[in-house]
Structure 1
Amino acid sequence: MFGKTNDRAHRGLSAGFLTALGLLMAAFLAPGGAVAAPAGQSIEAIEQTVRDFLRAQGEKEPGEWDIRVHRLDRRLRLHACRTPLEAFAPHGRVELSGRTTVGVRCNDTKRWKLYVPVSIDRFMEVVVTRHPLSSGQRISAADLTMARKNTARLPYGYYERIEPVVGQAVRQPLAAGDVVRPATLAEPTLVQRGQELILVADTGSVQVSMSGVALENGARGERIRVRNTRSGRTVEGTVLDSHRVNVGTVSAPMAGR
């Protein structure tokens, strides 16, 4: 009789303990429970902050943008920021083309900061060739046209306008539709070896001119060797145009030799 009573008491205690444990777990797991785990920072909000930041930067530049924020690890646990998230350029500025990184920080009492990788495609009109161009050919406006390209895939540069390209020479052959890059162009040769030239020099108060002969080819801005026809002296000068070379400052007697 005594042992039977203890067995009932034991079963009653076990049932009560399990019931209490179940209630405690339900309270802990309940969304609105007083002991529910605190919510962390929304990953989606971080990613949207990055997109908004980049779109605002892109409004200052021409072109159309395709912004892809690399997916952050959903297991990331950050304090839920009670102030607006702030995006920033880690190195002072963000490259709005290709792969880059944007920083995001929380400025409330529990501060945190992280860096979000991003890929950006920028589509805009750039200068391309209308038809094949051969090496050494001088470019005219009729040789060029505009085409929409993804500049993220043009790491070696491009031109946004035709005007700066016109008049330059082709450094290497180009096919029809090729993007015109700075490296594919060269200033055209304006002065040919053996050509008669005007040598321009400053004497300090006036500019004097002398006749000369080019000893080598030269493009605008290049330094070449020239010979003063009257004195026979060889000097270096900078090509100004197709018939003038600036030989710098000389003394008045030297200019007249």
Structure 2
Amino acid sequence: MRIYIITYTYAALLLIFSISNHAKKNTQDYTVLKKIAYHYLYGQVRLHAKQFQLDIHKPTSRVKLKACKTEQLTPFLPAHQKLLSTRSIGIRCPEHDWVTYLPVKLTIYAQVIVAREQIPRNTLIRRDQLELKTISYRELRSNYYQKFDYLIGRNTKYPIKSGSIISEYSLKKEYMVQRGEHVQIRAQINNIKATSLGVALQNALRGQQVEVKNIQSQKIIKGKATDKGVVDVIY
């Protein structure tokens, strides 16, 4: 009698294992979905950002989906979501007509200039007072600098704490070009450089776009204020 019971129990276990194994083969593996989503997003984001961290997570409540052929799985960005601020990624399976969404944690980083030391008010900024720091975009204000040349020699309007991001708000306005002032226009076409005189039609800080009138041709052109009384135009 015991032999029969053991035999029936063993047979039942084999049946359960077989059904479970069959179900797994017919259910979509979320590990595959994560890999596809990661490779898709990584390839897209790297075109727009140099430094970033990307994590794809499994959904909290997982619905069992029919297994889809890998070549049929199509990742996509959900409607109304911007690439660099997306919080999810969709994957579509035309074979079984289902769509699922995986949570995304994407952190973009930028190298911005911060104060290496305390910089007092009314101080002309030196290069040795500045350094680059990698910071998440979420921590950044709309105003920050990434090039030292734009800050060296600028006068501070308020004291700047060590480690603080330097913004335009902390600096006195120092126009490289002032309206009505004569300026030097430097133009470059391929490898040919030329200079001419012009009159600034606007005030402009370093790096800002400005309109100037060429004194000789009387044409109004746009350029970038790059130094005191200098406007660069690149064709």
**TM-score category by the smaller chain?**
0.5 to 0.7
Q: Cα deviation per residue 1:2-58 (whole Å; 9 max; x = unaligned)?
A: xxxxxxxxxxxxx9xxx6xx968854651588x857622211122222221232134
Return the alpha-carbon distance in structure 2 between the equivalents of residues 66 and 79 of structure 1: 31
Q: CA deviation at 1:242?
A: 8.8
Give the fraction of aligned pairs with identical amino acids, expressed as a percent: 18
Return the alpha-carbon distance in structure 2 between the equivalents of residues 125 and 190 of structure 1: 25
**Does residue 95 of structure 1 match 2:93?**
no
The aligned runs of 1:26-175 (5 Å cut-off) are 27=15, 29-31=17-19, 39-61=26-48, 63-73=50-60, 75-82=62-69, 83-90=71-78, 91=80, 93-95=82-84, 100-147=86-133, 149-157=134-142, 158-175=144-161
When normalised by structure 2's length, the TM-score is 0.56
Q: CA deviation at 1:75?
A: 3.4
Shift in CA distance, 40/123, structure 1 to aligned 2, threshold 3 Å: same
Measured on the aligned residues, the alpha-carbon RMSD in Å equals 4.4
Q: CA deviation at 1:145?
A: 2.0
Shift in CA distance, 69/199, structure 1 to aligned 2, threshold 3 Å: closer
Which residue identity is paired with 2:28?
Answer: Q
Return the alpha-carbon distance in structure 1 between the equivalents of residues 156 and 162 of structure 2: 13
Gaps of 5+ in 1: 1-14, 192-196, 201-208, 210-218, 223-239, 244-257
Gaps of 5+ in 2: 182-198, 206-224, 230-235
Does the 8 Å CA contact 1:127/1:180 hold for their aligned counterparts? yes
Return the alpha-carbon distance in structure 2 between the equivalents of residues 69 and 114 of structure 1: 13
Q: CA deviation at 1:130?
A: 2.6
Higher mean Cα deviation, 112-121 or 22-31? 22-31
How many pairs were matched up? 183
When normalised by structure 1's length, the TM-score is 0.52
Return the alpha-carbon distance in structure 1 between the equivalents of residues 228 and 110 of structure 2: 36
The aligned runs of 1:228-247 (5 Å cut-off) are none
Return the alpha-carbon distance in structure 2 between the equivalents of residues 86 and 44 of structure 1: 15
Give the match for residue 178 of structure 1: 164
